[in-house]
Amino acid sequence: MGKTDSDKGGLGYEEHLPKAKTPQITKFIKITASTSVPKHNMYVFKIPDNYLSISAAPLLCAGITVYAPMMRHKMNEPSKFLGVIGIGGLGHLAVKFGKAFGLHSSARSLDFIIDTASGDHPFDSYMALLKPSGVLVLVGFPSEVKFNPMSLLAASNIHPEVEVILIQYMNEVLERMENRDVKYRFVIDIKNSLK
């Protein structure tokens, strides 16, 4: 979520405002489809003509979660060394952004580490891998969005790893998610689901 002209109080970002709503995930998901959506230009990005919509879909959530802190902490300097903890849905995108930025992905002494792993885990061993002035970023909800990674990844011909599903299989997907049977990101193919 980005800064808006009407933001008052908090840290100046709408998700930090006192009355901001926290997203909830439940098992009761209502699925709807439409041909148009009301939108604000702050939340709309043109998908480059040479980039697949299927590849763009995960970038609007997982991509923002990884890209925003990488940019905020200047983790986009070519020839620097990047370490990524947790090569799943978020981590694999951090590796791909690193590649697009021209970062090296293996070294004994790292300039940056982006930790995309969830849950409790020790940091001591990761801190030992950082150079004295290195940066360790723990990824959570980003506090701001200055984001259009699609152009960057399209120019480098880099695509997220996705599993495309039809909406008819949504219950199966939810079950797979509960069983941790997910590799990177699901993308729902609405167009072919409605045929």
Distance CA 63, CA 161 (A): 12
Q: How high is the pLDDT of residue 34?
A: 56
Same domain, 190 and 141: no
pLDDT of residue 159: 87
Residue with tokens 């983790």: 75
Same domain, 181 and 133: no
Judgement on whether residues 131 and 176 belong to the same structural domain of the protein: no
134 is in which domain, residue-wise? 48-160
What confidence score (pLDDT) does residue 100 get? 93
Whether 54 and 184 have beta carbons less than 8 Å apart is answered as no
* pLDDT score at 97: 94
Contact assessment for residue 95 and residue 164, using Cβ atoms and an 8 Å cutoff: no
Please report which confidence band the pLDDT of residue 17 belongs to, taking 50, 70 and 90 as the band edges. Answer: low
Contact predicate 153/159, CB 8 Å: yes
What is the CATH number for 110?
A: 3.40.50.720
Cβ atoms of 163 and 90 closer than 8 Å: no
- Indicate if 145 and 98 belong to the same structural domain: yes
3-state secondary structure of 98: helix
pLDDT > 70: percent of the chain = 70
Count of Cβ atoms closer than 10 Å to residue 59 Cβ: 27
Provide the 10 A C-beta neighbour count for residue 193. Answer: 15
Tally the domains of the chain: 2
Tokens for 124, please give them: 């001591």
Residues 141 and 85 in one domain: yes
pLDDT higher than 70, residue 115: yes
Q: Residues 120, 193: one domain?
A: no
Of 33-37, 112-116, 140-144, where does mean pLDDT reach its minimum? 140-144
Measuring CA to CA, which residue among 60, 73, 72 is closest to residue 153? 60
Contact (Cβ atoms closer than 8 angstroms) between residue 42 and residue 175: no
Helix (H) or strand (E) holding 54: helix 53-56
Residue 108 clears pLDDT 70, i.e. is over it: no
Residue 103 binned pLDDT confidence (cut-offs 50, 70, 90)? very high
Q: How far is Cα 177 from Cα 17, in angstroms, rounded to an integer?
A: 31
